[in-house]
Structures are given as C-alpha cells and as structure tokens.
Structure 1
Amino acid sequence: MREKILLNDDWRLLVNPPETAIPVSKAAMYLSAKTERLKWGPGAYRHNDVPGFWDLEQELPAEPWEKVDLPHDYIIRQAPDPNEAGALGFFHYVPAWYRRHFTLAPEDANRRLTLYFEGINGISELYLNGCFLKRSTSSYVPFEVDITDLARFDHENVIAVYTDPRSFEGWWYAGGGIHRNVWLVKTAPLAVDLWGVFVPVRKETETSWRVPVEVTLRNIGYEAEEASLRCEILAPGGGKAGEILLSGTVPARDTATLRGETRVDSPLLWDLDAPHLYTLKVTVRRKDGETCDMVEQRFGFREIEMTPDRGLFLNGRHVKIKGVCAHQDFGLTGKAVPDNLCRYRVSLFREMGANAFRASHYPHPEATMEACDEQGLLVLNETRRYESNEEAVAQLEALVRRDRNHPSVFLWSTGNEEMAYHGMEQGHRIHRALEHVIRLLDPTRPVTTAITNVPDASVYAISEVIGVNYNLDQLDDLHRRFPEKPFVSSENCAVGSTRGWYWGDSPERGYMDARDFNPGPGTFQLFGRERTWKFFMERPWISGGFQWDAIEHRGEAIWPRLCSCSGALDLFLLKKEAFYQNQSHWLERPMIHLLPHWSHPGFEGMPVSVWAYTNCDEAELFLNGVSLGRKRVEKYLHVEWQVPYTPGKLEAVGYLDGLRAAGDVRETAGPGVKLALKLENGPVAAGGNEIALFTCSVLDAEGREVPDASPLVRFDCSGAGTILGTGSDNTDPVPVPSLDRRMYAGKIAVALCPGKADATGTAKATLIARSESLRSAYLPVEFPAPAEK
C-alpha cells in the first residue's frame, strides 16, 4: 500500500561550493559519461559530506558541510548589504549543494518509488547515487521524480541537489535552498498517479449535484493491468454520501484515466463561514482482487458565478471580494515557511476580515492552499510565466492539476503585469494558449490575466474576466467598453506604512507614516485603502479587489528599509494600523480602532493627529473623560481630531443608531520595568517541522505595554528548542539569526523551532528574554508530539 514519508530532517548543506577540479584522465572522463555521471564533487555518491569529519586515517574534506532540516533558506542568514540589489532584499546570492542519506527495505524493491519536491529555489539539478534525475527551472512549481530504477536496497541511497538561486524569477526576495517539503512516496506498481484524482462537481438542480470523477492510474509494470476502483464520497462527518465503481485496463508502462459519475442530494456547501469539505476515497484493486492503492482527495460543493453587472456570487449569495495579495516569504525564515506558519498566515488574513487571497505571482505552498479551503478563503490562483513554451506550459499544467480540486480556487490567472505582451498580438496568442491548457484540465473555472498598462493593453478584449492592477481612474471607461465582461481589481492599494511610526514619512530612516494616504493623480494606484474600498462599493459591477499586500515582503526595497512596506502586517507578522483599517471595511461586527498610541513624553501641548478607523456611523473621542467631539463617519472613511498631547487616557467610542456599539482605549504608559513573552501561534508540534512564533514586549509597573520601548534584548532557549531568528525593525541590518535584537515600537518577534518529543510525548523548552535595567522574562512551553497522519 501507499506510504508517503516526510524527508525534511537530517540534510547536509554546502553553501557556495568551491569550483570542483575536473580530472583529465581518460578513465575519469569515460566513467563520468555513464549512468552514474557524477564521479567527483559534492554530487558524487561517495562524496564525504560529514559535518565536522574527524579521522586520522583518511583525507579530511576541506568543505564546511553543516546539518540542516527542511524547509530551508540559506540566504536569509546573511547580513543585508546596501551594495546588493534592493529588489532582491540586499542579499548576495550564491549556489549550494544539499545531500541526504536514506535506506530502503528489501521489500521496497517491488514498489514504485518517487521523490516529491514541493519547491526548490532557482534552477536546480537532482541526482540519486550520482545518477541524474531532473533539472527544474522554477522555484515554486512542485514536481515528482521516479527513482524506482536507480534505488539501492543493499546499500544506502544518497540524494544530491544542486540549487542556484541566481536565475531571479521575480523582482522580490528570491531566497535560496530547498524551501518546501520533500517526500519519499512508495506505491505498488499499479497506483493512482500524482494529482490523479479530479472531482469537478456541478450543481444540477436546487438540491441535486452531479459528481463526475476522473482517476488517472499509472502502471510501471511491463504487462497491462486490469484495475477496479471503488470511489467513496465521504461527508465532513465521515458518513458515506455516495459511491462510484469503475474498471478498466492500464497499458504497460503507461497511464489510463477512468471516468464515472454519480449524484449527491442536498450536500453541505463549502462557503466562507462554513467551509465544509468532502473526501473522495479511491481504493484500487488488481484483477486478482488484491488492494494495491488507496488515496483520499478533498473537495467541496460550491457554486461560483462572476457576472458583468452585479459582481461575484457564491452559492447564489452576493459576495464582494475583500482580498489580499502576498508573497511566500516570512521575515524570520525567508522563503522557508513551514506548514504551520502557512496556516497561521491565513488565519491572520481571516482575522483581518479578508475573504479572498491572490496567490501572487506563482504557485503557493500546498499548506497555504489547504488552509484556504479549511478556513474559507477564496483564491485567485496564478502561474509564474506568461509564456507558451513547453516548459511554461508544463509548469501551468502542474499548478492546475495540483489545485483544481480546491473549492477555494475560483479564478485562474495566466500572468501578471506583462506590460509589453498584454498589448501585442503575440501576447494574445500566449493568453489563448494558456487559457486552452487550463480549460482542458479544468473546465469549471473562469480565467483572467492581471493587466496594469490599461491604455496600451488589449488582451482584455479576449479575457473572460478582466483583471486590472491599480488604474482605478480608468475602470469606468473600460467597463463602458466591455459591459459584457466581469471585472476584478486583481491588485490595488500599494500604500506603504511603517508599524508604530506616526511622524510623517522619513525616507532617511526608511519609515513611512502609519496612517493611510492617497497617492493622488498621476500615480498608478491613485487611492489609499479607504478611497479604494469606497470606489469598489460604489460600483456593483466590480467583483472586488486584492490589496497589495497582506504582509510586508523582503525585496522591492530602498535602503535602509529592507522590504516593501505596503503590508497590513509587518515583515514579522506584527499587526500594523492598516490591519485594523481593513477590519473597519470588511468586518460586520461593530469595531473602532484608535491611533496613534498615547505615550509621547516630552511632547506635551504638541498637536497630534488622532484617527479612528470604524464601521460605526458615529465616533466620539474622550481625553481623560472629557469629550473632544462626536463626529459623523462617512462610510468607509476615517474620522480624525487634532489633539494637543496631554498624558492620560484617550478613548474612542463608536455608535450605531445612536447607541454605543464599540470602544477602544489608548493609555499613557509609564517607564518600562519588565519584559513579557507571548506565544502567538500555538499549539505547535514538536519534531522540528513546525515553528513557534513569540512576541516580546515591555510592560510598565501597571502591566501596560510600553508602545515606544526600544531596549536591546538578549534571547536564549533552554531545553528542546532552537531560536531560528529575531526581528523588530524592518530597517535593522543585523542578521536574522542574531539572538540579540534592538526592540522597535515596543515589540520583537522570535521564531523558535521545537525539538523532538521525549518519553512523555512532549518537547519542553523555555524561551528567555533579558535586557539591562528591565526585569527578565521566561516562558516555558510544552510542544506535543505531532499527530499521526
């Protein structure tokens, strides 16, 4: 039966390897031209990759191999350098080798064996036991390599991966390394193929749904195989909702797709606030009745319609897209974002009020897609290359096959901001070709492409859905020209801001004011967040839009700032004012958020611009119990007061229909006296495949957070855990792995990787924070052993 084994632990890494001398003897050249082509260098089967190797009898390797676990990014460990490219995060990019040793049992000799890589940075080459497997040219597209013929059962096996991130697929931080999961998959010779199950459900009547099923089988044997399949539809609670029986012949060394259909009455629908997921359980039997494979594929029942005049409808209900874009990287781990942090990021999007996510500008991790299904977030899914060559088409096919069962995916995108080719006939041909590929694999969803140069583009004439980045001032005219087409703002509102900075833009410091602003005419984006959302809400034909972006990302930076600062969350997943502004637009529950903080010693009497973000219809501000005025709130806009700074208690109250509905308070903090630690994303599993994210803050004698605290804090971990990185200020060039970090705006983020569980079933670790003149803090945490899958 099928086994899927995670191979994330115990890899060996060599960064920026020296150029390997090439032997000139005939024997060396002759033997390296055979199946085992790597006979020397870091990719060779018998190469010495032992970190800290010590032996008196053998030659000692000069290479500095080190032990690492995946997912991994070796570039993020560097100190940013202003002489390097700001678009790529001010890092110096170099290649590396990864190696991993593993053994196989003798009984595995009768199975199909594959390695499944979810993502490797840049251009990579893969070898098993010195034999070439595959060359990959995408950082973001997963792939499988068959190692059945090359695997050894009498000796250990060695995977060698050469990765070179200098291909630079984008204008953002690229990272370096094997930045997603790696799996060893063992199946019978006859088994379901990779991404071989497709369940394109369709609504037939008000209560009845068609459930077509496609199952692709692969047979690596040298004789044709008769196969029978039982496809069971399991409801969210586990009960059986239907069954399909299929049978067919799979040719030798080939694949075959078997198709069938049934109906399900009144299923639980997948929706934003009730994301019900069904499972198709496929059991494969050979002609002799032996069960040889079993896979489970999740899917959902939901109906999506994008209309040209009323926007988007989900299950017959009108939904305005409240979307965000995001890159994959995280400030403390680079491109290597473990699955639990992918899920945590999605939970923050939902907390912010978002109901949609644009996977910009490439296939995102599988854990992110699964989290969108589980937490009820619509997804605009996008391929990286706007090209119709063989390689780009193969990458698009992989994306669609991988993600076409996700009920969260409602729209495909063939590319982003192809400013030349979106206006050329050649670009039209590319879009048609890519759209055709998508429709062959998934006829159930519409297709768009994200356009930014509206005056010069013409591809929207052949696009099923018109997707426009920014350029809001041109959308009305474009809609008049194409009234028959649905519209979506595929990207908007790249308004920069800095967490905790309220003193106007300061390019010299790398800071931008935390408040929203309108860039104004003459810019590609025109409006800030509130004017953008007001624009969408006043136009029912716009399905909604996707903000750039949810999280600050490394790259697209101007020194001394190390990242783009357009996010509603900062580089370290700390909430910015824009997070709460989005809540005021997107949440239905009454809320009000007050800014800035109210701890400004030395500025007594200076006028301070006080803002409130709220979805209430009136707001009132109080200072030390005295009203400073009650104001009507124009829908989707903020209210503000000019207040001479006086220490004390600043309170905002929101009213609906004249009644108090929400409140928020800012209170002047005293001098900091102690540090405090908080785990943000628990529970976190032991074992090294998840990351715990902590926040360190400073409290005064009354237990209030000090919002402008800036001490130097030293972090340590005792017990079963390793601190991976710390971060606070997105202009701080101190390398991420540093255990000593200067606090900025009252908070530091800390990433900790729990160790293995002990005999009690937990890994116990204690995070320690110390700073001069402040009382130290410690936080013991027990991380449970990971649940068995």
Structure 2
Amino acid sequence: MVSKTFTLPTDWYGKRVLIEFDGVMANSQVWINGHLLGSRPSGYVSFQYELTPHLKAVAQSNVLAVKTDTTLQPASRWYAGAGIYRHVRLIATGPVRLAPWSTFVSASKITEQQATIRVQTGVVNSSDQKKDISVEITLVDPQGKSSATVACPAQTVDAGKTAEFQRDLVVITPIRWDINNPVLYTAQARVVSGGLPLDDEIVSFGIRECSFEPATGFWLNGRNVKIKGVCVHHDGGAFGAAVPLQVWRDRLTTLKELGANAIRTAHNAVAPEFLDLCDRMGMLVMNEFLDVWTVGKRKGDFHLYFNDWAMIDTRDTIRRDRNHPCVIVYSAGNEIHDTPKADLAKRILNSLIEIYHREDPTRPVTQGLFRPNQSRDYDNGLADMLDVVGQNYREGEILAAYRQNSKRKILGTENGHDLSVWLALRDHPEYAGQFIWSGIDYLGESRAWPAISTPFGIIDRTSGLRPRSYQRQSWWSDRPMVRIVRRIGKNEPSPIDPGYELRTDDRLKVTQFADWTPLNLQPHSETVECYSNCESVEVFLNGRSLGPLPKPANDSARVWKVEFEPGTIKAVASNAGKTVATDEHHTATKASKILLYVERKEITQSWDDILRVEAYVVDEKGVMVPTANNQIEFAISGPGVIAAVDNGDVLSHEPFHADTRSVYQGRCCIWIKANASKGRITLTARSDDLESDMMAFEISSGQL
C-alpha cells in the first residue's frame, strides 16, 4: 500500500473533487481518509472516484491510500508491472459538471467543401436542486481559429440526475486527419447555467473517413491503404511499465521510418497519452482491450474477473478512447480460448459487440481469431459476427475464408516476419493489412531461460534496428532504400561470430549482422544479402563490383556469395540507372574509443521527457566494433539523473537502473532525465583501455 497526505487549495472550497487514475496494476483499492472508494481488478483500465464526501475542511490534511495486489502469479505472459505506474490527477469542478468521458465528437458527411461534426456530452447535476442547463460548443481548427460558439438546447436537470446534450456543427473546407497529415481539431464543451460557466472540457478530434471493404481492404480518405502494422506490448524495456512518453515517441518515429503505419495495442488498454501520440504522429491503431475471456492462459490473469468486470472495463475504455482519430478498429480479444465452446463464445462476443456499437457506432469490431479452422469459427457463425474478420497467423486460412464468403472483410491481426506472409498481403487486395509480431522486443514471454525478453521485434528494447527490419522496410517504405547484411545459417554447429553466443533455442539465434567484421578475418565464404525496394542493386567489395542484381518479382532478398576480405563492402541501389540509395560497412580494427550519439540536445523537466543517448565502441577511424563487449561507465554532472541503461541483449541480466552497462554488438544506451527547470547536464562515458567521450545538454522550458 502507498499513501499520500495532501491539503486542498483554499480556492477548492465548495468544489467537487475527483481523482482519476490512468492505470494501477493490479487489483487496486483506493481509500480516502479511511473510506474505501472502490476497487478495480484490471491494471490497465482508467477510472475515477469522487473524494468530496470524505474530504476534510480546507487546510486540514487528507490521506489518500492505494493498495495493490499482484501476488497471484503468473498473471500474464508478458511483464505487466505493479503499483501506480500511469498518471494520476486530481480534478476540481462544481456540482454541475460534465460526466467522465461523456464528450464524444464524430464527423460525417465529409466532402472537400464541408463536414458535419456532432458533439455529444453528458452533464451530471450533483447539486441538491434542479437546474436549467445548456452546453455551449466551440470548435477550433488546426490553425487555432475558433468557430462561432453554439449552444445545445437547454434542459432542466433534476438533482442527482444526468442529462445528454447533442449539437451538430458544420466545418467549412475541412482538413482531413491522415497518416501523412495528422492534423487535429479541438472541441470545447462548456456547461452553462444561469448565464454562468460551471465546467468545461477540451477534446481533440480528427476529421477523416475510413472503412473496410470486402474486395479491396482498407480505405482512408478515399485512398486504398494497406495497413502495415506492428503489435506492441505496453512496457518500455528498461523502464518497465512506467514509460515516459518520449520513449514511445522515439519508438514510433523509428517504426514510421521503416514504413509502418499502424499499431495493435496488444493485448490491453494503453495509457491515454499513447493514443494522443498516435494521433499526432499519424499512426493508425487497432485498439485491443482483452487477452482472455472466461478461459485463462495463466492462473492469475483476467479470466478470474471477466464475468464481473469485462463489460464495465470495455464500456469505460471505449468512452475514454473514442475521440482519437488514430483508432480505426476495436479488437474484442486476442486468441480467445473460449471459442471451442461456440455457444458460450458467441454469447460473450455478442455482448461485447453490443457495447462497442452502442458506445461508438463509428468504428468496426474485429478479433484475433485463434486457429479458427479447429474451432470452426468460419462455419459456426462466430467469425461472421465480427464487422471485420481478424485472424492471427495462418494467412492461407483467412484468405480461404474470404473465398468461401466474399462478403467478409478480412484483416491479419497478428502475423510473422516471413516473406510468404508479406506476399499474402501484397498480392491480395481483399486482405486489408497485417500486424507483425512484434514491432518491439518486450519484457517477458522469453520462451527460453536465460532470456528475459523476446527477440521477435523488428526493433530491440532500445529502439535499435534489428537487421530483419531492413527487409520489412524494403517491403513497406516508399522511399528508396538499400541495406546490406551478412547472414549465417541457423544450423551452424557453433557460433562463428562473437557477441552472438550459441543459443540453444533456434528462436533466439542471431543470424543476420549489419557489419563487415566477422570473428574470422581470414579468407572464407560469406553470404551477403541486400534488402532494397529499388530496381537494381550492385555490391562492391573494396571497389570491385560483384555484379548488379534486379529486384526479384517476389520481393526476396538479393544474395551474393562473397569470399571475405577486410575492407569495405558497399551496396548501391538505382532506379532508371540513377543512384538513389547506398549502404556500406567497413571492417573494424581494435576498439579504441567511445562515441556518444544523440538525436537532440535539449530536454525539458517534464516527467514524460527523456533523452536517449547511444554509446558506441569504435576503432581509431570511428568504425563501430561489433565484437566489442566493453563495460561503459556513465557519469552525470549538473541537474540531471541517469534514468536507465540497456543494450538490447535479450540474454543480459544487468540491471536497468545503474550507471554502467556492457555494450552488445558494439552499442548500448543511456536515458537521461532533467531534475531542474534550467541548466546544463553533462554526460561522460568511460571504459578501461578506451578513449572517453563527453556530451552536454541544455534544459529548456519548452513543452514536450
């Protein structure tokens, strides 16, 4: 149990005071001054309680206490965290106020000339007498220009009752939210009674059209768009479950650069600011809330509470999330093990779909079906209850299900990395999209000790690119690109490269290396692969051409067998005979120094802001030494702290909260937080027998 003592500000006297939690892991109980306010078993849902009846007078101390219980383990397959790990806020308002998450803004009849915006909201009258109430609506466009304020028809609301208000407005020449132009409008709802403003709320929203069609897949603003998605869990690697928003900004930036345009929130409600970020960055979202229904996958998971809480949690989370333009589809569950009992599963699914459609009629519902041919979901009617039929893996099955019934809208809700998986999407217009497992390495579900996280991501825990990401980029990205890697076979009897120690589980073996520094520097055969979306790629070894290769019709890698020699290997990609992209690696010599690299050199004091600094071990010419495993010692001076360190190695058991970290494949990362509103932070990185490096950062007063 944790507690906090606080006193109310004097200007809060007479107000209604609420507390809102974005997520508490798990089985939380919240108390104020000894009074139990309520409990929530799920650690992922947001919730509110009113404190007012139990608060002490202004200037007297109040005690807020939160108890959590995560003793029943395992409670999930991945790392869930524990305690208060998301934001908490106190809200002060009057007795007449907007109901929590009741404001819903939707757009319809969208043309180039205009769009109809409907604003719906609920007002709670907590006073002891009836009130004549209206709600005034003001829209603000992306340039900050306000529309005229319009009022909803006034209503008389009895004491203790809630009333619903609605008003349609017209936006002239609307600017549409899009993955390439994620512009946001805002709507302000202001409660008015007796000419006085009593409460208000500002909600961001986007104007956009999207739909799933049986024969042609997904459409956004009149454009046929393939959903190129990734599944992500909620943890932030070295940060565990309490993740500063900048960590997600760095991760999503990397994924977008690879060509990803969508996120699946596997398999739970995410922090609300994560969806805010997807809104601002133009990432589509499959919003998934449930990993289990009544049949559990682990003894302590949500199946214990499903019957009592699933419908409530689903309702509340839809209300919280439905204004986000990034959300294009809801998922009612992931690989649900109730489906072998078709009658039970269909009853549950019907109840969930009713809630989704009632609370948000603007978005479809899917589900990550689990081996549907075994549970006969395509034959017993369960799959066709879904607005969009989703299936995990087994792409041939869902394509066959479409051929069986061409009215089905189909989507890959979880998919692998193989070339055949990509071709299923590329070559079938009816297949709306895929979400690969996974976008980012995550803690837990490591499959084989001593691994502590999965190696299945296209980026690792530190946002470092795995070589497999280059192939995905060659399929997803429209920008000309080429990347060159070495590949070894999984059947190698022993590791031929250091830092890539033999891993007994094939799923953990590293087989691709973005370098030209194998352990054996004597002549030997190397397999070189190039990933590119360009017409032609030519490889050069120390200036000698190894020959160009055209783009394969099946988008496979271009492969050269090369007799290794130290020096430089380079890939040159061209379109119509013109060079449009290059990539090269140099053979590293002896490790000589540390090189620090950072994308930006300013940081704010915000809890959600953080600087990621990469530390490389390089030779005297600045070439990264991929075989290095030096221990780097970090030191901070000035108003900053080391928040975390990591190197992305799934086998490393080094602590994340430390001032040292070994490098893995020549690299590690440190994250820095500011603990003052201004000043300069200096970072120094040292290691035995290596030249040190230093970098300075300024603390700014700007917004994250």
Q: Which residue of 2 aligns with 1:700?
A: 619
For residues 429 and 445 of structure 1, the distance between their equivalents in structure 2, rounded to whole angstroms, comes to 21
Q: Which residue of 1 aligns with 2:511?
A: none
For residues 148 and 109 of structure 2, the distance between their equivalents in structure 1, rounded to whole angstroms, comes to 16
Q: Which residue of 2 aligns with 1:145?
A: 49
Q: Which residue of 1 aligns with 2:205?
A: 299
Higher mean C-alpha displacement, 182-191 vs 167-176: 167-176
What is the identity, as a one-letter code, of the residue corresponding to 2:177?
W
Q: Which residue of 2 aligns with 1:119?
A: 23
Of 661, 664, 669, 1:741 maps to 661
What is the identity, as a one-letter code, of the residue corresponding to 1:352?
L
Structure 1 residue 430, shift from structure 2 partner: 0.7
Q: Which residue of 2 aligns with 1:547?
A: 436
Answer yes or no: is the 8 Å Cα contact 2:521–2:566 preserved in 1: no
Q: Which residue of 2 aligns with 1:660?
A: 579
Query: Which secondary structure state, in structure 1, belongs to the residue aligned with residue 592 of structure 2?
Result: strand
Q: Which residue of 2 aligns with 1:519?
A: none
Inter-CA distance 273–655: structure 2 relative to 1 (3 Å threshold): same
For residues 435 and 694 of structure 2, the distance between their equivalents in structure 1, rounded to whole angstroms, comes to 40
Q: Which residue of 2 aligns with 1:490?
A: 413
For residues 217 and 340 of structure 1, the distance between their equivalents in structure 2, rounded to whole angstroms, comes to 35
Inter-CA distance 682–190: structure 2 relative to 1 (3 Å threshold): farther
Q: Which residue of 1 aligns with 2:499?
A: none
What is the identity, as a one-letter code, of the residue corresponding to 2:657?
P
Structure 1 residue 243, shift from structure 2 partner: 4.2
Q: Which residue of 2 aligns with 1:435?
A: 353
Q: Which residue of 2 aligns with 1:624?
A: 542
What is the identity, as a one-letter code, of the residue corresponding to 2:397?
Q
For residues 38 and 610 of structure 2, the distance between their equivalents in structure 1, rounded to whole angstroms, comes to 31
For residues 267 and 309 of structure 1, the distance between their equivalents in structure 2, rounded to whole angstroms, comes to 29
Structure 1 residue 206, shift from structure 2 partner: 5.5
Answer yes or no: is the 8 Å Cα contact 2:136–2:190 preserved in 1: yes
Of 162, 167, 185, 2:67 maps to 162
Which runs of 5 or more structure 2 residues have no equivalent in the other structure?
A: 295-305, 486-513
Cα displacement string for residues 221-259 of structure 1 (whole angstroms, at most 9, x for unaligned residues): 111222222201111001134543112233312321111
Inter-CA distance 204–679: structure 2 relative to 1 (3 Å threshold): closer
For residues 548 and 642 of structure 1, the distance between their equivalents in structure 2, rounded to whole angstroms, comes to 30
Q: Which residue of 2 aligns with 1:239?
A: 145
Q: Which residue of 2 aligns with 1:308?
A: 214
Answer yes or no: is the 8 Å Cα contact 2:250–2:463 preserved in 1: no
Structure 1 residue 344, shift from structure 2 partner: 2.6
What is the identity, as a one-letter code, of the residue corresponding to 2:179?
L
Inter-CA distance 688–320: structure 2 relative to 1 (3 Å threshold): closer
Answer yes or no: is the 8 Å Cα contact 2:110–2:209 preserved in 1: no
Cα displacement string for residues 341-390 of structure 1 (whole angstroms, at most 9, x for unaligned residues): 23332222212211111111011111110111111111111112536734
What is the identity, as a one-letter code, of the residue corresponding to 2:383?
Y
Higher mean C-alpha displacement, 717-726 vs 351-360: 717-726
Answer yes or no: is the 8 Å Cα contact 2:133–2:192 preserved in 1: yes
What is the identity, as a one-letter code, of the residue corresponding to 1:395?
D
For residues 316 and 202 of structure 1, the distance between their equivalents in structure 2, rounded to whole angstroms, comes to 14
Structure 1 residue 722, shift from structure 2 partner: 1.7
Q: Are residue 229 (structure 1) and residue 135 (structure 2) matched?
A: yes
Structure 1 residue 643, shift from structure 2 partner: 1.2
Q: Are residue 449 (structure 1) and residue 367 (structure 2) matched?
A: yes
Answer yes or no: is the 8 Å Cα contact 1:346–1:368 preserved in 2: no
Which runs of 5 or more structure 1 residues have no equivalent in the other structure?
A: 1-96, 496-527
Of 229, 245, 251, 1:323 maps to 229
Inter-CA distance 689–305: structure 2 relative to 1 (3 Å threshold): closer
What is the identity, as a one-letter code, of the residue corresponding to 1:371?
L
What is the identity, as a one-letter code, of the residue corresponding to 1:767?
L
Q: Are residue 756 (structure 1) and residue 676 (structure 2) matched?
A: yes
Query: Which secondary structure state, in structure 2, belongs to the residue aligned with residue 389 of structure 1?
Result: helix
Query: Which secondary structure state, in structure 1, belongs to the residue aligned with residue 171 of structure 2?
Result: strand
Inter-CA distance 687–471: structure 2 relative to 1 (3 Å threshold): closer
Answer yes or no: is the 8 Å Cα contact 1:687–1:785 preserved in 2: no
Q: Which residue of 1 aligns with 2:336?
A: 418
Q: Which residue of 2 aligns with 1:584?
A: 474
Inter-CA distance 179–382: structure 2 relative to 1 (3 Å threshold): same
Q: Are residue 131 (structure 1) and residue 35 (structure 2) matched?
A: yes
What is the identity, as a one-letter code, of the residue corresponding to 2:224?
H
What is the identity, as a one-letter code, of the residue corresponding to 1:776?
S
Q: Which residue of 2 aligns with 1:473?
A: 396
Of 687, 694, 700, 1:771 maps to 687
Q: Which residue of 1 aligns with 2:492?
A: none
Q: Which residue of 2 aligns with 1:563?
A: 453
Answer yes or no: is the 8 Å Cα contact 1:344–1:681 preserved in 2: no
Q: Which residue of 1 aligns with 2:385?
A: 462
Of 191, 194, 199, 1:284 maps to 191
What is the identity, as a one-letter code, of the residue corresponding to 1:704?
V
Cα displacement string for residues 552-575 of structure 1 (whole angstroms, at most 9, x for unaligned residues): 001111112111111011122211
Structure 1 residue 209, shift from structure 2 partner: 1.9
Cα displacement string for residues 702-736 of structure 1 (whole angstroms, at most 9, x for unaligned residues): 22222332111112222212212211122111222
Q: Which residue of 2 aligns with 1:651?
A: 570
Once the two structures are superposed, the pairs formed by residues 330-409 of structure 1 within 5 Å of their partners are 330-384=236-290, 385-386=292-293, 389-409=307-327
Q: Which residue of 1 aligns with 2:3?
A: 99
Q: Which residue of 2 aligns with 1:670?
A: 589
Structure 1 residue 410, shift from structure 2 partner: 0.8
For residues 484 and 600 of structure 1, the distance between their equivalents in structure 2, rounded to whole angstroms, comes to 53
For residues 350 and 422 of structure 1, the distance between their equivalents in structure 2, rounded to whole angstroms, comes to 38
Query: Which secondary structure state, in structure 1, belongs to the residue aligned with residue 3 of structure 2?
Result: strand
What is the identity, as a one-letter code, of the residue corresponding to 1:144?
Q
For residues 119 and 734 of structure 1, the distance between their equivalents in structure 2, rounded to whole angstroms, comes to 28
Aligned-pair identity (%): 31
Answer yes or no: is the 8 Å Cα contact 2:212–2:432 preserved in 1: yes
Cα displacement string for residues 548-598 of structure 1 (whole angstroms, at most 9, x for unaligned residues): 111000111111211111101112221111222222111111100111301
Query: Which secondary structure state, in structure 2, belongs to the residue aligned with residue 480 of structure 1?
Result: helix
Structure 1 residue 492, shift from structure 2 partner: 0.2
Structure 1 residue 621, shift from structure 2 partner: 0.6
For residues 250 and 665 of structure 1, the distance between their equivalents in structure 2, rounded to whole angstroms, comes to 70
Of 164, 168, 179, 1:272 maps to 179
Inter-CA distance 787–597: structure 2 relative to 1 (3 Å threshold): closer
Inter-CA distance 480–400: structure 2 relative to 1 (3 Å threshold): same
Higher mean C-alpha displacement, 643-652 vs 569-578: 569-578
Q: TM-score, normalised by structure 1?
A: 0.80
Answer yes or no: is the 8 Å Cα contact 2:293–2:337 preserved in 1: no
Equivalent residue pairs, number: 653
Inter-CA distance 177–126: structure 2 relative to 1 (3 Å threshold): same
Query: Which secondary structure state, in structure 1, belongs to the residue aligned with residue 358 of structure 2?
Result: helix
Of 171, 174, 199, 2:77 maps to 171
For residues 582 and 276 of structure 1, the distance between their equivalents in structure 2, rounded to whole angstroms, comes to 27
Answer yes or no: is the 8 Å Cα contact 2:399–2:431 preserved in 1: no
For residues 684 and 547 of structure 1, the distance between their equivalents in structure 2, rounded to whole angstroms, comes to 33
RMSD: 1.8
Q: Which residue of 2 aligns with 1:537?
A: 426
What is the identity, as a one-letter code, of the residue corresponding to 2:39?
R
For residues 411 and 331 of structure 1, the distance between their equivalents in structure 2, rounded to whole angstroms, comes to 27
For residues 659 and 776 of structure 1, the distance between their equivalents in structure 2, rounded to whole angstroms, comes to 41
Q: Which residue of 2 aligns with 1:188?
A: 94
Answer yes or no: is the 8 Å Cα contact 2:519–2:627 preserved in 1: no
For residues 149 and 18 of structure 2, the distance between their equivalents in structure 1, rounded to whole angstroms, comes to 30
Structure 1 residue 538, shift from structure 2 partner: 0.5
Answer yes or no: is the 8 Å Cα contact 1:208–1:266 preserved in 2: yes
For residues 610 and 462 of structure 2, the distance between their equivalents in structure 1, rounded to whole angstroms, comes to 13
What is the identity, as a one-letter code, of the residue corresponding to 1:163?
T
